[in-house]
Amino acid sequence: MREDEQVPPTETAEDAMQQLRSKAAELLLREEWKESVQIYSQFINLCQEEMIKISNDPDQVSKLHKSLCLAFSNRAEARLRLRDFNEALQDCEQALKIETTHFKALLCKGKILLSLNTYSLALDCFKATLLDAHASGNLETVNGFLEKCKKLEYQSRTGAFDLSDWVLSGFRGKYPEMAEYVGAVQIKKSEISGRGLFATKNIDAGTLVLVTKAIAIERGILSGEDSSERTQLVMWKNFIDKIVESTSKCQRTHHLISTLSSGENEDELEVPDISLFRPESEESDYSNEKLDMDRILNILDVNSLVEDAVSAKVLGKNRGFHGVGLWLLASFINHSCNPNARRMHVGDFVMIHASRDVKVGEEITFAYFDMLSSLEKRKEMSQTWGFHCNCRRCKFEEGMSSKQELGEIEMGLERGIDAGCAVYRLEENMKRWIIRGKEKGYMRASIWSAYAETYGSERLMKRWGRRIPATEVVVDSVVEAVGSDERVSKVLMEGLKRSGCGVAEMERTTKFGRGLYGKVVKKQALRSLLEMDIC
Ligand SMILES: C[S@@+](CC[C@H](N)C(=O)[O-])C[C@H]1O[C@@H](n2cnc3c(N)ncnc32)[C@H](O)[C@@H]1O
């Protein structure tokens, strides 16, 4: 039904209201949310007009109040399904003004608050539904929501997430329920560029830094070159539409998006308070500056992330899909080629954990692109992101780039020289140049594929094995320098399979796995994830 289409005139207002009410309820049942909102709006207007006319008849007024209350609750439910959270919340408030313990209105308000990640407010709301007589017939539903709220409130307060059962079931069933969480971090000016996220406490490898849900996400399957380019364009357009819709529907989203960098004068941007991004944030007074389309496009260019990037991990159903999304707080994390954090995607959530131990005051960084590649390749990739990488590793490798031998090794690898030979030459040169500690790890990470090929090949190991360092030595130094990575884990696990796994090796893999997958899985699930990596 079109918005301007009116219900045919009826003999009395009561008949007209009856017709509108039945029609709206039918549309609600059929899950035609938009249409249902329109008809409920007509009903509510008519009902309010009638109330003025019959204000001296208390029985009639009370009857109309009841209908009005139900209509507000039902319109709220439809608006909730359309993700018009603010309007849905207003409808609930209107209903609750008429009847303070109205079951449907409270239940719907609880669901909206849950969608807005305000877990404790949602919990209070679901508890209040128990005061209404209708609760007894809906106890299972209410208890389900109460349990969910308690779990999410706990997760969001403590950061104690456990995905073990889901991982061990082979990612079967629905995604695990997850809350948003902000760990021991704050936003500050960064030496890398603009603003960044910084640790406010020492953070162990594997500890969560933040968990946040995408504002919008678009996924598709990419196949054949031509169609994948077209698919990506269509996906990008759909993604933009979703973001525009979210900003128009929610003042908070609009405001938070406007705090993100659009790539210009980053060092002059204001530093927002992290509390704005906390799930239970009670801020409601948003002075929304206008976000024109150009600004939105620039913000998305600078801040959107691809789920299936080499530097990220996707768990569960969305594996195999190409996904692009915007995660607000994660957008303050700068890139580094020797990062100390990793991102893992679970459904629409991104979970970011420390991939190495992080000291208080240190900036949290993750890799936007493949850190196991040469300086030249990384320069190309950072250019496509529109910046020149200022990280410590790039600065060190830039200093080394005058070494002719390095250029020869890289050129040799491009021309297909023996990977073992390249590894041997780099190791020998590093001895000559007296390269130590993390810097050794940086250089090894730059030609990681040659190390992986050598350690993975019986033939190459026969030839070079005794002249190059043992697998564990190289793996440890690379992880120490640039953090854990699945490809490094693969080499480690394959090596252990060949040589056998004692207690010390088990400990090493667990520590390594924590950096890779975080503490959100227990030991057994962690091992299962590590084993999946070698398949
Ligand atoms: C997602 S934002 C990161 C947060 C941003 N610094 C801010 O103030 O909002 C990405 C932008 O940060 C800057 N950036 C991130 N990592 C960088 C790096 N390693 N070197 C130089 N600039 C970087 C670039 O301008 C990039 O376009």
In this prediction, residue 18 has a pLDDT band, given cuts at 50, 70 and 90, of very high
Distance (angstroms) between ligand 1 centre and the Cα of 255 equals 20
Ligand 1 binding pocket includes 418 (Cβ within 6 Å): no
Mean pLDDT for the chain overall:
91
Residue 480 clears pLDDT 60, i.e. is over it: yes
pLDDT of residue 10: 44
Q: Give Cα 40 to chain centroid, integer Å.
A: 35
Report which protein residue has its CA nearest ligand 1's atom 4: 332
Report which protein residue has its CA nearest ligand 1's atom 9: 261
Bigger pLDDT: 182 vs 281: 182
Distance CA 493, CA 457 (A): 14
Q: Which of 267, 334, 352, 396 to mutate to test the pocket of ligand 1 (most atoms within 8 A of CB)?
A: 334
Distance (angstroms) between ligand 1 centre and the Cα of 61 equals 60
Segment among 258-262, 306-310, 500-504 with least mean pLDDT: 500-504
Collapsing DSSP states into helix, strand and coil, what is residue 364?
strand
Distance (angstroms) between ligand 1 centre and the Cα of 194 equals 7
ipTM for the assembly:
0.99
Ligand 1 binding pocket includes 269 (Cβ within 6 Å): yes
The arrangement of strands across the sheet holding 312-315 comes to 181-182, 208-213, 349-354, 341-346, 312-315
Q: What angle do CA 280, 167, 491 make, to 5 degrees?
A: 115
Residue 32 clears pLDDT 90, i.e. is over it: yes
Query: pTM of the entire structure?
Result: 0.90
Residue 80 clears pLDDT 80, i.e. is over it: yes
Question: What average pLDDT does the segment 145-159 reach?
Answer: 96
Percentage of residues of the chain with pLDDT beyond 90? 76
pLDDT of residue 280: 78
pLDDT of residue 133: 81
Ligand 1 binding pocket includes 331 (Cβ within 6 Å): yes
Distance CA 143, CA 263 (A): 47
Percentage of residues of the chain with pLDDT beyond 70? 96
In tens, the pLDDT along 193-241 reads 999 999 999 999 999 999 999 999 999 988 877 678 888 999 999 999 9
b/e map of 340-364 (b: 16 or more CB within 10 Å)?
A: bbbbbbbbbbbbbbbbbebeeeebb
Query: 10 Å Cβ neighbour count for 149?
Result: 24
Question: What average pLDDT does the segment 417-425 reach?
Answer: 96
Ligand 1 atom at minimal distance to the Cα of residue 335: 16
- Tokens linked to 321: 């899909």
Report which protein residue has its CA nearest ligand 1's atom 23: 193
Ligand 1 atom at minimal distance to the Cα of residue 365: 16
Ligand 1 binding pocket includes 303 (Cβ within 6 Å): yes
Which domains does the chain possess? 13-158 (1.25.40.10), 175-366 (2.170.270.10), 378-534 (no CATH)
Ligand 1 binding pocket includes 298 (Cβ within 6 Å): no
Report which protein residue has its CA nearest ligand 1's atom 13: 193
DSSP letter at 203 equals B
Distance (angstroms) between ligand 1 centre and the Cα of 320 equals 28
Residue 249 · residue 85 · CB < 8 Å? yes
Residue 500 clears pLDDT 90, i.e. is over it: no
Nearest Cα to 391, choosing from 309, 335, 312, 331? 335
Question: What average pLDDT does the segment 511-516 reach?
Answer: 89
Radius of gyration of the chain from its Cα atoms, rounded to whole angstroms: 28
Contacts 24+ apart (CB under 8 A), 305-311: 305/330, 305/343, 305/350, 305/368, 307/217, 307/219, 307/345, 309/368, 309/369, 310/369, 310/370, 311/339, 311/342, 311/343, 311/366, 311/367, 311/368, 311/369, 311/370, 311/371, 311/485
Alpha-carbon distances, residue 57 vs 51, 64, 112, 188, 507 (angstroms): 9, 11, 35, 62, 79
- Tokens linked to 531: 């084993």
Residue 353 · residue 342 · CB < 8 Å? yes
pLDDT of residue 8: 45
Please report where in the chains the tokens 């009903």 appear, as a residue.
43
Distance (angstroms) between ligand 1 centre and the Cα of 305 equals 13
